[in-house]
Each structure stands twice: as C-alpha cells, then as structure tokens.
Amino acid sequence: MIKAVRGMKDLLPPETARWHHIETIARAVFRCYGFQEIRLPLLERTELFTRSIGVNTDIVEKEMYTFPDRHGESLTLRPEATASVVRAFIENRLDQGAEVKKYFTMGPMFRYERPQKGRYRQFHQINAEALGGDAPELDAEMILLLLEILERLQIKNLELVFNSLGCSQCRPAYLLELTALFARGLRDLCDDCQRRSAVNPLRVFDCKSKTCQELLHQVPALSDQLCDDCQRHEQRVLELLDRFGVPYRKNPRLVRGLDYYTRTAFEVITTELGAQDAVAGGGRYNGLIRELGGPDHPAIGFAIGEERLAALLSQQQDPIPARPLLFIAVLGRTALDLAFDLVQAVRRQGYVADMDFADRSLKAQMTMANRRGASQVLIVGDKELAARQAPLKNMQSGQQQMVSIEGPSEILAALGSETEGVYGV
C-alpha cells in the first residue's frame, strides 16, 4: 500500500465541510474590509524565501522543501505566502495608485518540521496582506479583521499577544547589545544559537533551550528601547485596540520566526491545542517590498493556521449539519430511467438529490438514504410508473404523501416547504 507522505494529511468529509464553513466566513469578513483574493503558485524560486524570511531562520535552514528542477534551477515549495504576495505585487506592478492594496489568499504551505498534533509538513493558511500603508490605524484594522474572523467562527479562549520589533533606526543598537551579551555568555547557548547569535541574535528568542532562555532573562527588552517614531506607532495601535475593547498581552519576547518584521508583531494563541498554541501570527514588514526589488512601500499582514482553526472549531462546535437531500429509491430496472430523469430535474433546480443505480432492495436503499441524511425519499417502482404517482416520505416525521411523477414540480413543491435550493429557488 502506498501511503501519504509523513506530515501530509488527507482532508476528508465531514471535516471538509468544516473547512468550507471557515473559508466562507473568512471570505465574507475579507469582503467587508475591502480585501480581494489573490492566488499564487505553490512553487517559487528558492531565493525569494532566503532573501525574505532570512537565511538564519529555522524555516530557511531546516524546513524548506527545496530541489533543483530539470534545468538545475533551485525551486522551493512555499513555506509561507507573504514573500509570494510581495513578489506578485512587485512583478505585476500592483503598487500603482495611492491606496492601500489589500489581498487575501488561502492554500497549502510546506515546512519540513517534526510532525505532531497541530503541526504538519503540508498545512494551510488563510493569509491577509495590506501593502502600501504605514498608518498605525492599519495595524489596528488588521488585528480587528483577524479577530472578527475568529469571533464570527465563535472560537473561544483566545489571547492576543503583541510586541514591537522596532525599525532600522532603533533595532541595530539593540542587536549590538544582544550580540555583546551573547558573546560573553556564549558557552551557555545551544549549538544553533552559538552559530546564529553573531549574525541574527533575535533568533535566540525563538529557541526552546532552557539555558538560552535563562540567558535572555538578563537582556533588556527591545520594546523598552524603541525610537520615538516606533514608540508613537505602538502607542497608537494599542490605544486603538483599547478603544475597540480588544484585550491583549504585551510580550517583549515575541519575535516571530521570520526576519522581515518591523514594529508591530502579534500572535493569537489558544489554551486548547497543547504545544502548538499559535492559531495566527503576523506583523508589519516595512522593508520587505524594497528588499525584494520593489518600491519602498510599508506593509502588514497575518496568517491563520487552518488546521488549528478547524481543530478548535471541532472542539467547540457541533459538526455543520448535512444539507437536506432528496433520495429516489428505485424498484426494478424499468423505473430507473424515469428516476434518473427526476433526480436530474431536481438537481438542476438547485436541490441536493441522489439515487442509487445498483438495483438494491428497498430496505438497502432506505438505509442508504438515511445515512446520507436525506430529508425526503421518493419511492418509484413499476406500480408507480403505471399510476404516474409515487409516495414521497418525509424521513423525519415519517409522513408520506403521493406526488405526481409526470415531472419534478410536485416533488419540488414538497421540498420547497422544507428548504431552499442552492440557487435560491
């Protein structure tokens, strides 16, 4: 038996219905906030990610699916979407016009991490990116948008964690301070951090090692050493969160695992998923568009982990009920053509309808209808064919009525009182 690749999950019904629900709500909220969908390739040139996420990050050092194509060009399955959105923004000249460009995108990402509950090698994100605006109001708007999606999905027990990572004015001095401290305590750092501390000292904050974390307790917080502009920016964002009654916790150790962040960085965490507690994360990346060869436009975004969100939804909500369905049970081969005509006619009116072609017993077909959650079953056999009438059974009440099978109209009328068709018929 050929099995799926480790860390890559099949998404099966009824779980797919839950995902559909999540994506429908997200799309509706994005629409209200003026975000448009963008769909991007899953494969990009490797350089895009090394230059944006950073060479000394876990993602780039250990987690990318990178391979040469048939011409020897190094390609990578995207580990995240922000770099691709920025690439598309620059390449397609989407920077024209003064307004902030707001895009969302949904789809699979790939990271070669150690699989465990809530952590996969192929996982899915719902991404939002707002490019071309540096107002702190935009930061607040992005956070409100993220929280609104989560709220409309009725996800409970979430916490917003906030930090500011400074900018090219105030961060370099802080990094020098960090490097000096790490140089003094080098022996206490784990191997990875020893190597990275000189080139990318912020990454030590991501490290899980106890000794690295202890050393960090001696370090002043970056958020205490921000320049005036960064301080004002942060204050205004937090003031707006207060105004909208959004609770948050400031965590000066939140650095996020990607190098491109400036100023605002945030995560939404939950108490309900164990170790993999981040449901969403994001922040500002004011230098990234320029870094990748585009105009000097500031930007901010976030990504929600869809597997984690779906897991929360399944803990906190009943599965989404199956749609009511008409099932046509056929008795004998002669009635099959008429039943097939009817099932097609009903489907084309926007109702969910089904039948079985295998000439099974009525009992077997009724069991099938039940399992599919059919709300009405029409039973058609030779006798019904001759009388041009058949019994339509309501599976909930058990009540039965005779309907004409000359065409679908009487059947549709009976369904119509139960539910609306997909096309609103």
Q: Does 257 bind ligand HAM (CB under 6 A)?
A: yes
Question: Measured from the CB atom, is 35 or 120 closer to ligand HAM?
Answer: 120
Q: Is 279 in the site for ligand HAM (CB under 6 A)?
A: yes
Q: Pick from 103, 104, 302, 351 the residue near ligand HAM by CB under 6 A.
A: 302
| Residue choice 204, 207, 254, 280 for contact with ligand HAM (CB under 6 A) | 280
Q: How far is the CB of 80 from ligand HAM (least distance, A)?
A: 4
Burial (CB < 10 A; 0-12, 13-18, 19+), residue 225, is middle
Residue number, 314 or 400, with CB nearest to ligand HAM: 314
Q: List the one residue from 15, 113, 151, 159 that touches ligand HAM (CB under 6 A).
A: 113
Which of 186, 188, 181, 250 has the alpha carbon at shortest distance from 218?
181
**Taking the alpha carbons of 49, 54, 58, 60 in that order, is the dihedral positive or negative?**
positive
Q: Which of 119, 253, 290, 372 binds ligand HAM (CB under 6 A)?
A: 119
Instruction: Indicate the burial class of 240 (C-beta count within 10 angstroms; 0-12, 13-18, 19 or more).
Output: middle
Regarding 307 and contact with ligand HAM (CB under 6 A), the answer is yes
Contact with ligand HAM (CB under 6 A) among 60, 150, 303, 385: 303
Q: Which stretch binds ligand HAM (CB under 6 A): 20-28, 273-281, 358-366, 378-386?
A: 273-281
**In the set 111, 171, 196, 393, which binds ligand HAM (CB under 6 A)?**
111
List the one residue from 201, 281, 294, 298 that touches ligand HAM (CB under 6 A). Answer: 281
Find the part of the chain contacting ligand HAM (CB under 6 A) among 93-101, 122-130, 241-249, 366-374.
122-130
DSSP string, 353-410: EEE--S---HHHHHHHHHHTT-SEEEEE-HHHHHHTEEEEEETTT--EEEEE-SSSHH
Residue 278 in the binding site for ligand HAM (CB under 6 A) = yes
Total number of residues that touch ligand HAM (CB under 6 A): 25
76 vs 82, beta carbon nearer ligand HAM: 82
Q: At closest approach, how far in Å is the CB of 233 from ligand HAM?
A: 16
Do the beta carbons of residue 74 and residue 45 sit within 8 Å? yes
Q: Which of 283, 294, 298, 408 binds ligand HAM (CB under 6 A)?
A: 283
Q: Of 132, 133, 305, 408, which lies in the binding site for ligand HAM, with binding defined by CB under 6 A?
A: 305
Smaller CB separation from ligand HAM, 126 or 325: 126
- Residues 43 to 82: which contact ligand HAM by CB under 6 A? 80-82
Q: How far apart are the first and last CA of the chain?
A: 46
* Order of strands, sheet of 122-131, starting from the edge strand that comes earlier in the sequence: 36-37, 101-110, 122-131, 299-305, 278-284, 262-270, 158-164, 249-250
CB 84 to ligand HAM: min, Å: 10
Which amino acid, 357?
F
166 touches ligand HAM by CB under 6 A: no
Comparing CA positions, the residue from 316, 314, 312, 275 lying closest to residue 115 is: 275
| Segments in 153-305 forming alpha helices (H) | 171-184, 191-197, 210-216, 228-243, 288-291
Closest Cα to residue 80, out of 56, 102, 58?
58
Count of C-beta atoms within a 10 Å radius of residue 182: 22
Query: Which of the ranges 38-46, 162-170, 208-216, 272-280 carries the binding residues for ligand HAM, by CB under 6 A?
Result: 272-280
**Residue of the chain from 127, 163, 197, 349 that contacts ligand HAM (CB under 6 A):** 127
In the bound state with ligand HAM, the residue whose beta carbon lies nearer, of 109 and 353, is: 109
Residue 420 has which token pair?
Answer: 């609306």
Q: Which of 224, 232, 260 is nearest to 54 (CA)?
A: 260
Residue nearest to ligand HAM (CB): 305
String marking each residue 80-99 x if it binds ligand HAM according to CB under 6 A = xxx-----------------
CA neighbor of 325 nearest in space, from 425, 415, 417? 415
* C-beta atoms surrounding 57 within 10 Å: 23
Choosing from 51, 233, 297, 308, the residue that interacts with ligand HAM (CB under 6 A) is: 308
d(CA 204, CA 183): 13
Give one word for 256, left, alpha or beta, with left for phi > 0 and alpha for psi -120 to 50.
left
Residue nearer to ligand HAM on the CB measure, 81 or 411: 81
Report the C-alpha gap between 236 and 220 in whole angstroms.
Answer: 23
Would you tell me which residues interact with ligand HAM (CB under 6 A)? 80-82, 111, 113, 119-120, 123, 125, 127, 129, 257-258, 278-283, 301-303, 305, 307-308
